[in-house]
Amino acid sequence: MAASNEIVAVGRRKTSTARVRLKPGTGVITVNGKSIDEYMARDILVMMAHQPFDATDNAGKWDVRANCAGGGVAGQAGALRLGIARALAKIDSKYISVLRRYNLLTRDAREVERKKYGRPGARKRFQFSKR
């Protein structure tokens, strides 16, 4: 159960899910018990997670505790970004227009297309021979 001063939100991307808890603090982001720099090796992924804070001028004002499951680190970073943006939108409705302008409240609907039978992949065909 979340504490009364915590804001809880969920973000999803591809097959990843991030359950995010925001509470007033110093800007520490913890993912699955590790710091975000330790958990996500690439700087671009860390930047992705910080985007909602940068867009709303909230950098360093909120601590984030997140549980990410499923997918890879890129999908988890996208899920974390959406979860943080949704939590900020819950905090104050004036952030919604800013977050929408940067497309941070939009769930990225791109998923892996399934493999079809009679083909080697989703779109690829076996080599065709006329003769």
pLDDT tens sequence across 45-104: 999 999 999 999 999 999 999 999 999 999 999 999 999 999 999 999 999 999 999 999
pLDDT at 3: 62
Q: Is 11 inside any structural domain?
A: yes
Q: Residue 36: which domain range?
A: 7-101
Q: Is 74 inside any structural domain?
A: yes
pLDDT band at 1 (very low <50, low <70, confident <90, very high): low
Q: Is 82 inside any structural domain?
A: yes
**Residues whose CB is less than 8 angstroms from the CB of residue 42 and which lie 6 or more positions away in sequence, other chains included:** 73
- Using a pLDDT cut of 70, give the percent of the chain over it: 98
How many CB atoms within 10 Å of residue 106?
A: 11
- Taking the complete model, does pTM exceed 0.85, yes or no? yes
Rounded Cα gap, residues 71 and 91, in angstroms: 28
How many CB atoms within 10 Å of residue 20?
A: 28
pLDDT tens-place string over residues 24-44 = 999 999 999 999 999 998 999
Rounded Cα gap, residues 16 and 73, in angstroms: 9
Q: Is 63 inside any structural domain?
A: yes
pLDDT at 4: 74
Instruction: Give the number of domains in the chain.
Output: 1
Q: Any idea what the CATH number is for the domain that residue 20 is in? A: 3.30.230.10
Residue type for position 57 = D
